[in-house]
Every structure is written in structure tokens, then in C-alpha cells.
Structure 1
Amino acid sequence: MYDKMQAIGLLTRRSARVLRNPPPSLLNPLSMERVDSCSEFCSLRRGFHSAAFSSGNMHGGFSNVELYNRKDKLRIPPLSMVTPSRLYSSEAPGSANYSAAEEATKEIYDMMLDSIVEKRTAPPNAWLWSLIAKCSTTEDIKLLFDILPKLRAFRLSNLKIHNDFNSALCRAVTKACVRAGAIDFGMKALWKHNLYGLTPDIGCAHQLLLHAKQHNDAKLMVKVIKAVMKNSLPLQPGTADIIFSICCNTGRWDLISKNGKRFVKAGVSLRQTSFDMWIEFAARKGDVESLCKIENWRSQTMKQHSVSTGFSCAKGFLLEHKPESAAAIIQVLYQTVSDFKKPSITVELQKLVSEWALDVIKHQTDDNRKAFAAALQIDISELISALQSLGMRENVTMLQFNENGLISS
């Protein structure tokens, strides 16, 4: 063994002298490529063995390549340990060659998939946002919802990130679903526990509710509200505004009553606009009992009437055959509003006489309609007379009614 070691040392020293003073044959242009390859190999070999011997006390992650020296066995670490690579990149590889804003949805999806599955690196956040922004069809949304669970699993297993994506990204995903018409996928974004790593909030629900409002889709509204309640998303005053608007536009008194009570029970401080829509709807229906309840809830949070709630209460008094009380509340309203809003009092009074009276008559049963119209005509006449006696000199045209509605002026 000692003789073998001396022979190896002699061979090494001779090789070094040859490389320091190469013979003319090695300097032949045809041989230069072999010299370069030899130099590169020797350099790589020295670096490889240096790293191997400096890592001799490591135990994990070694390859099956082994060097034997007597009875001792030295294992060589894999190349990835010698030249470590970046596992988790925050920048796009080859960013000079890629522009996320210019790539098609499928191309961005493929880039992200390659980064996660093949390269085992975290794709830049800009790619995900660009993918969301470019979604315009259901097929695009399918790609988005295919990459999200893969990205979530990668974050959990490789980056040790246990938090879901923030709510801002969830809102952007929901908005993309609405834009692409993929409402079913948008509903998945409301799930509190999902495989996509999304963090839903009430803002995501608003995206879907606004779509329902645009299309007067009460069924979608009901579906969204059920998902909101099931996933314990906190109701907001803005939520009530959207829901009440949909109910008014679709004539769904049952839904506005049910959801209105739900908001009150949840302790949501409704806005003036919500109370305006809710109480106006009750006045059109001629539902005095509901009107009184809504006014009671409103008065607990707001001291003064708006023009809308004031006239709705006046209509309630008319339905109870109390024209003097109706006139009194309109007079107080006229005195308290700003000069800028005073013309709106005349407008609302004319609407009361013409539009509201006809609307509330239509909501009566056939048997009661004729008697109701006659009584309402008398009460409205007394209201106008009372307003004039109280000092309001407004030009309001009195209209005549029968059991079917308006007949003459």
C-alpha cells in the first residue's frame, strides 16, 4: 500500500510539471479544446474534493458516491450541497426575458407551475397578481383555481408559511370571478376553510352582491347571504345598502324584512340610506306595523328625519287616518331641513298625492280596494288643507281615485 501511495504522488507531481510546461503538441490549436477541458475538469475536481473533505463530518443528504480509504468510508455530498441553489426566489428567473404584464393567462400559469413543480422555487407575487388581472373567461378562472392550491401547499411545505393569502388578494380573486362570469368559483372564495389559501372577508361578498344588484338577481343575493352567515363573515352597513337596494328593485318585501331584522339583531348600525329604502318600501306596501318598527329602530340611532323617512312616517299616519299628524310631521320637516332641500319637500308631497297613493291602493285586496281608495282620498285632502293652515303654501295638485287607481285631476 505504501508503494502505491508513492506512485500516486510521483504521478501527480509529473502531471503538474506537464501542465506548467506543456509540450508543443498540447499548444497545437487543434488541442486547445482538450487543454481547456482538462483545466476545467481539474478545477472542478479540486473544488469537488475540497468541498467533500471539508464536509466530511456531515451525515444527512449525501449521495451514494463514496471514497474508500482503508477501512474508513467517506461519503461525498450531492452537488446541490457543494453549489447550493436558491430554493425560494422572490424574483422571476430570467426577468429580462419575461414580462408578466404581456404574457397570456396560460403562459403565466405555466411559468408559475414550472417554478413550483420543476424548479421548486416560489414564483414572484407579481405573477399571481398578473394572472388574476388577466382572467376574463371561465377557463382562465379554472387555471387560477388550479394554481392556488398548489401554491398554498408549496408555501406550507417549503416556505413554512402557515398564514393564508391576505384578504386583499381574496377580493381580487372574487372580482376576477365576477368579471369572467364564473360566479360559482367566486362563491368558493367566501369559504372560511378552503384549499385555495384564500382569506375571505365581507368585501369579497360585496363583489358578488354588486353583481347581483347589477342584474337584479335576488336568488344570487340569497345565496351569497347564506354563505356569509355560514362562514361567519361580519355584516357591515354597506352590506345592508346593497341588499336593501336589490330587494327594492326586485320588489321582494319578504327578503328586505328578513334581512333587515338580521342586521338589527347583529347590532349593525344601518346608514340613513338603508333606513330610507326600508321604510319607503314599508310605506308602499301599506304595512303600518312594520313601518312603526323600522322608525323605532331608526330613532334609536338617529335624532333627525331625512326627507324620505319623514314622509314615510307621514304616509303611515295617513294609513291610520290621522291627516293632522301627517301634516304636523311634514311641517316640522319643512322647518328643520336646509333651504337647499326645501324644494324637495314639494316634490315629495306631490309624489305622495300621485305616485304613492296609486301604489298603495294596488297593494290592497280586491274587496277592500274601493273603500280604501275613497278613505285615502279624503285623508289626503285633509292633509293638504292642514298644511295650508300651518303656513305651507305649496302648489300641490289633488287627484281623484277609484278602486282601480287614478281617474282625473
Structure 2
Amino acid sequence: MQALLRARLLVSSLRPPRVLFSSDHGAQASLSRAPYTVFQSPNRNNDNLLGFQKMMPVGSIMFVQKEFYCSGIPDSHTEAVKELYDKMLESLSQQRSMPPNAWLWSLIDNCTNVDDIKLLFNILKRLKIFRLSNLRIHGKFDCNLCGEVTKASIRAGAIDFGKKALWKHNVYGLSPSLVSAHHLLMYAKQQKDVSLMVDTMKLIEKNNLPLQPSTADIIFSICYNADDWELMNKYSKIFVKAGVKLRRTSFDLWMDFAAKRGDVDSLMKIEILRSETTTRHSILTAISCAKLLLLQNKPEDAAAMIRSVNQILPKSMSSKMIAEFQKLVEKWPLEVIKHQKDEDIKESAAAALQKNINVMLVLLADMV
């Protein structure tokens, strides 16, 4: 048995080592002549950083280290970003120390294109590995950094990278937060990008980020501007189920949207939720309630609602009240009719609304 074991060891020692990351025949030849040794790192905590066996050719270890720290660098990038990236890379790979935090923040601030963001995420990944393997730091970067990375990704047009900042389990050491999600949602609102809003909401749910009233404001605004009642209805149920206390601004959009559709049932349910949250009406919720009463053939009650709210409004708000009242009279009936599919219902709804509005106008003649 001992003779057989010695024979196997002799064959293994004569066999040329495998090259891990190169097809360069010159490199293979030089590595085949490299003596075997134990990889010794200046920092013992990093001895097995790459997950390979310690007993490897010296040349191959040097080659693997270079490949690990330099692979995947984009071709096009901002000069300032590349300089900072190289300095941080040198600190990690040669000096074996964490680069100053100011370098990372400066790199983030200087990102202007997708390739800059690729460099940013590349260095974040290496920083996480270095923190874990050399410094034994298991925690992630703070939420502020995650938010700034998301903003930089949006600014550079790298939305997919911005979405990665919301992943609970990621290789970049980022701590997902609702603030980061809001950056994406605000961008979706500015660009009128409903698909991005839907994707972001899925990430919020999947990564267990808590919903807030400010989230509802953004979501309702996007759905309202996109004239997508189905999405508004879907997300309103999610927020209510999660126990989110909606703001007046959210109720304004939600009730106004339901009123434009002439949706009596939805208006009644929303008004009940609103009254449980706040007793005071805003101008839009008051006008929406007046519209509900008109749809229910109660023009006297609609007039009383508008008069009571108008009396308690400060003078600075009276012009807005008059503007919304004019929209109710001139534009709202057309919006309701537009959302009715049955032609017969359109005709009857138009006649009923016109009649009820005329009665209301007579009762509010002194105010108009």
C-alpha cells in the first residue's frame, strides 16, 4: 500500500497544474513550471478568500488575485469615477486595507452613466467581501448609503441597478429601505412609468419593506395620472389591509377618481374610511361627497355640504373652492358619462345629473 501511495504522489507532482482563468498558453507554460507552495496572505483572515485550496502554484495564486480584483470593468466611464475606483481597488488588493469612506461617497456623487454605476456596484461587492473576510464585519452598509446608491443609479439611467438596492439578500452589502424605494417611485411618477411602479411595489412586498402613508401618496398619484382605476383599487386595498393611515392627499385623489367614474359604492366606502381617519373635509373630499349626493339624487344635501365647507374655509382657499365647484358643474358630468358603457345608462345619467345640478345651483345662487 505504501508503494502504491508513493507512486500516486509522484504522478501528481509531475502533472502540470490547471490554469483557472486564462487561455494564454504562455501563462500555462509559466504556471506549469511554478513550484507548489502554501498561499500566505499578509492577513491570515484572508487565507482562503477565494474558496480555493491553499496548496496551489505561486504563479496561479497571483493570477487569480489579479483576475478577482480587476474583472468586469466596463470600457466607458467617467474619468473621476475610474480614478476613484482604481484608488479603492489598489487599497483593497495591494495595501490590504479599507479605503476611506470619503472615496466611496465621492464615487457615488460622480456617477453619471451606466458604466459608472457598474464600477460602483463592482467596488461595493469587493468592499463587502473584504469587510467580511478581513475585518469580520458581517453587517451591511447603512441605509443612507443604499439611498444614495439608488439615487445615483436613477441619475445615471441604470434603473435595474437601482432595483438591486431593494433586495434584502444581495452581494453588495446594501441595506434596502423604503427611502430607496421612494426614490424609484418618484422617478416612476415623473416619467409616468406605471410598469416601474408595479415592479417597485413587488420588490417592496417581496423584501418586507413597511408601507407608509407617503408611499400611498405616490402610488395613488401615479394611478390617478395614468387613469388606471384597477391599479388604484388594487393598491388601496393593500394599504388598508396593512393598516396604513392614509393622508388627506391620498383621500383627495382616491375620492376624486371614484367620483369621476360615477362609482357610488366606492365613494361611500372611501368616505367611511376617511371619516374614521379625520373628521374635517378638504376641498376635494367635500366636492367628492357633494358629487356622491348628486349621484344619489340628493341635490339639497349636496348644496348643504358645499355651503358648510365653504363657510369654514379661510379666504385664501375660497378661490380654489370656486374653481373646483366650476369643474363640478361644467366638466364632471361629462367624465361620469364617459365612463358609462351602456348607451341607455349614459342618456339617463346625463339627464339626472343635469337636473340635480340645476337644483343645487339654485340653492347656492348667493354663493356662486
* Interval of TM-score (by shorter of Structure 1 and Structure 2): 0.7 to 0.9
Aligned partner of residue 308 in structure 2, secondary structure = helix
The separation in 1 between residues aligned to 2:236 and 2:327, in whole angstroms, is 25
Aligned to 1:394: 367
Aligned to 1:311: 287
Structure 1, unmatched stretches of 5+, are 1-60, 64-101, 396-409
Give the letter for the 2:355 counterpart: I
Give the letter for the 2:350 counterpart: A
Spell out, residue by residue over 1:228-265, the C-alpha distance to the aligned partner (whole angstroms, 9 max, x if none).
00000011111111111111111111111111111111
Aligned to 1:193: 169
Q: Does structure 1 residue 383 correspond to structure 2 residue 365?
A: no
Per the alignment, do residues 62 and 289 of structure 1 end up closer, same or farther by CA in structure 2, a change over 3 Å counting? closer
Q: Which has the larger radius of gyration?
A: 1
Q: Does structure 1 residue 237 correspond to structure 2 residue 237?
A: no
Q: CA deviation at 1:386?
A: 2.2
Q: Does structure 1 residue 122 correspond to structure 2 residue 109?
A: no
The separation in 1 between residues aligned to 2:310 and 2:283, in whole angstroms, is 9
Greater relative contact order: 1 or 2 (C-alpha under 8 angstroms, separation 6 or more)?
2
2:82 to 106, 111, 118: 106
Give the letter for the 1:230 counterpart: K
The separation in 2 between residues aligned to 1:342 and 1:119, in whole angstroms, is 68
The separation in 1 between residues aligned to 2:321 and 2:116, in whole angstroms, is 52
Aligned partner of residue 303 in structure 1, secondary structure = coil
The separation in 2 between residues aligned to 1:209 and 1:232, in whole angstroms, is 16
Residues 204-213 or 366-375, more deviating:
366-375
The separation in 2 between residues aligned to 1:164 and 1:340, in whole angstroms, is 49
Spell out, residue by residue over 1:87-123, the C-alpha distance to the aligned partner (whole angstroms, 9 max, x if none).
xxxxxxxxxxxxxxx9611111111111111211100
The separation in 2 between residues aligned to 1:336 and 1:201, in whole angstroms, is 41
Aligned to 1:282: 258
Counterparts of residues 29-48 of structure 1 (less than 5 Å): none
Q: Which runs of 4 or more aligned residues in structure 1 lie more than 6 Å from their structure 2 counterparts after TM superposition?
A: none
Give the letter for the 2:283 counterpart: V
CA contact (8 A) 1:282 1:291 kept: yes
Aligned to 1:333: 309
Aligned to 2:236: 260
Percentage of pairs with the same residue: 55
Aligned partner of residue 341 in structure 1, secondary structure = helix
Aligned to 1:370: 347
Per the alignment, do residues 116 and 381 of structure 1 end up closer, same or farther by CA in structure 2, a change over 3 Å counting? same
Aligned partner of residue 340 in structure 1, secondary structure = helix
The separation in 1 between residues aligned to 2:324 and 2:104, in whole angstroms, is 52
Q: CA deviation at 1:345?
A: 2.5
Give the RMSD, CA atoms, in angstroms: 1.7
The separation in 2 between residues aligned to 1:144 and 1:340, in whole angstroms, is 49
Aligned to 2:320: 344
Aligned to 2:203: 227
Aligned to 2:300: 324
CA contact (8 A) 1:346 1:394 kept: no
Give the letter for the 2:352 counterpart: A
The separation in 2 between residues aligned to 1:367 and 1:230, in whole angstroms, is 45
Aligned residues between the structures = 293
Give the letter for the 2:354 counterpart: Q
Q: CA deviation at 1:340?
A: 2.4
Query: When the two structures are superposed, what TM-score results if normalisation uses the length of structure 2?
Result: 0.77
Q: CA deviation at 1:343?
A: 3.1
The separation in 1 between residues aligned to 2:139 and 2:281, in whole angstroms, is 46
Q: CA deviation at 1:342?
A: 2.6
Give the letter for the 1:350 counterpart: Q
Aligned to 1:208: 184
The separation in 2 between residues aligned to 1:299 and 1:358, in whole angstroms, is 28
Aligned to 1:297: 273
Aligned partner of residue 104 in structure 1, secondary structure = helix
Aligned to 1:69: none
The separation in 1 between residues aligned to 2:286 and 2:330, in whole angstroms, is 18
Give the letter for the 1:374 counterpart: A
Q: Does structure 1 residue 271 correspond to structure 2 residue 244?
A: no
Q: CA deviation at 1:62?
A: 12
The separation in 1 between residues aligned to 2:339 and 2:255, in whole angstroms, is 16
